Amino acid sequence: MPAAGASDADGLGAEPLRGGGRAGAAAVAGGGLGADVSSAPPRADGVLLTLERLTLVRGGREVVSALSGRFERGTLTAVTGPNGAGKSTLVEALAGRLAPVAGRLERAAGLRVAHLPQQSVLDRQFPIRVGDVVALGAWSRIGLWRALGGGLRREVDEALATVGLLGCAQRPISDLSVGQFQRVLFARLLLQDADLILLDEPFNAVDEATTADLLALMRDWRDQGRAVVAVLHDQAQVEAHFDRLLQLDGRRRWAWGATAEVLGACAA
Ligand SMILES: Nc1ncnc2c1ncn2[C@@H]1O[C@H](COP(=O)(O)OP(=O)(O)OP(=O)(O)O)[C@@H](O)[C@H]1O
């Protein structure tokens, strides 16, 4: 991890390692003045989301400081860091659920974002069937309470087949294992058809076979030109599957770039 205040001249290509630290703290003292969330026209270079000195506060404490970088089409980015480092906070801001107190977050025009929070915040006892959960992925396209028509039913069945749960549409979600439920949530993401897919600890308590299947799905999304951002704790998994890495160190410093470069710089 680079030292706080490391300069832009650290030199790892387009997105060098940088430190947040004091500059970000000063931004919070400004009471959030200057924070900006905006839409930009579609970009030919595939940039979906641009962060400029993004600063986030949670529970009265600054957890992300002066974070700058871009999320582009066709990339798999891992977000790592110790507990409490601000990973979920950052993902919520990327999803548009938390406003920055300073800095800028610019979305490409018409950007479709899907956000899968940690399973621990989802209620699996809710009396709803698997097929209905998956169909909810299409609500922004078809309206929330429209009856399941033949076309949507087919989409749901196809998505369930893709995640290995063909024929499970009528089962209540309370019957599912953690891994099966995560497959259902990935099927819902398939129907969302988003450009930017945000996943918060998607493999938590999920078995190896399910993890491998869901990783394959994430690679498909990348190959389709979507951007996938996943909060992860397993460094081997990050090295093996993610081309980009955004690492938070829990002290408001961060490193962001090609995975090998970020890991190399941290080991140095
Ligand atoms: N709803 C909340 N209200 C107040 N403080 C919060 C809230 N959510 C998180 N925090 C605090 O914000 C900080 C960052 O939390 P966050 O959940 O973003 O970290 P994280 O890196 O995702 O951690 P973990 O690996 O444990 O999930 C922590 O100090 C946490 O206690």
Q: How far is the CA of 86 from the centre of ligand 1 (A)?
A: 6
Q: Ligand 1 atom closest to Cα of 92?
A: 18
Give the bridge partners for 56, in sequence order: 64
Spell out the residues 6+ positions from residue 154 whose beta carbon is closer than 8 angstroms to its own. none
Q: What percent of the chain has pLDDT over 70?
A: 79
Give the pLDDT confidence of 11-21 residue by residue, as tens digits: 222 233 344 43
Instruction: Spell out where the chain has E strands.
Output: 36-40, 47-58, 61-72, 75-80, 102-108, 113-116, 196-200, 227-231, 244-248, 254-258
Nearest CA to ligand 1 atom 16: 86
Give the pLDDT confidence of 38-59 residue by residue, as tens digits: 766 555 679 999 999 999 999 9
Determine the residue of 28, 65, 88 to mutate for testing ligand 1's pocket, defined as the one with the most ligand atoms within 8 A of the Cβ atom: 88
Determine the residue of 83, 89, 254 to mutate for testing ligand 1's pocket, defined as the one with the most ligand atoms within 8 A of the Cβ atom: 89
Give the pLDDT confidence of 188-244 residue by residue, as tens digits: 999 999 999 999 999 988 899 999 999 999 999 999 999 999 999 999 999 999 999
Please tell me the number of Cα atoms within 13 Å of 34 on its side-chain side.
Answer: 15
For residues 187 and 175, give the distance between their C-alpha atoms in angstroms, rounded to a whole number: 17
Q: Hey, is 99 helix, strand or coil? A: coil
ipTM of this predicted structure: 0.96
100 CB near ligand 1 (under 6 Å): no
For residues 92 and 116, give the distance between their C-alpha atoms in angstroms, rounded to a whole number: 10
Q: Ligand 1 atom closest to Cα of 85?
A: 21
Whole-number pLDDT of residue 147? 56
The full set of domains in the chain, from first to last, is: 46-112+198-267 (3.40.50.300), 121-193 (no CATH)
Give the bridge partners for 39, in sequence order: 107
Q: How far is the CA of 80 from the centre of ligand 1 (A)?
A: 13
Question: Considering Cα of 58, then 49, then 224, then 78, what sign does the dihedral take?
Answer: negative
End-to-end Cα, the chain, rounded Å: 9
Q: How far is the CA of 89 from the centre of ligand 1 (A)?
A: 6
Whether the CB-CB separation of 255 and 247 falls below 8 Å is answered with: yes
Which tokens sit at 255?
Answer: 């490193």
Q: Ligand 1 atom closest to Cα of 250?
A: 21
Nearest CA to ligand 1 atom 27: 83
Q: How far is the CA of 233 from the centre of ligand 1 (A)?
A: 15
Give the pLDDT confidence of 78-121 residue by residue, as tens digits: 999 999 999 999 999 999 999 999 999 999 999 999 999 987 66
Q: How far is the CA of 58 from the centre of ligand 1 (A)?
A: 7
Whole-number pLDDT of residue 149? 64
Whole-number pLDDT of residue 20? 40
Determine the residue of 87, 118, 200 to mutate for testing ligand 1's pocket, defined as the one with the most ligand atoms within 8 A of the Cβ atom: 87
Give the bridge partners for 254, in sequence order: 18, 248
Whole-number pLDDT of residue 16? 33
- 254: pLDDT strictly greater than 50: yes
pLDDT band at 150 (very low <50, low <70, confident <90, very high): low
Q: Ligand 1 atom closest to Cα of 91?
A: 18
Q: How far is the CA of 164 from the centre of ligand 1 (A)?
A: 33
87 CB near ligand 1 (under 6 Å): yes
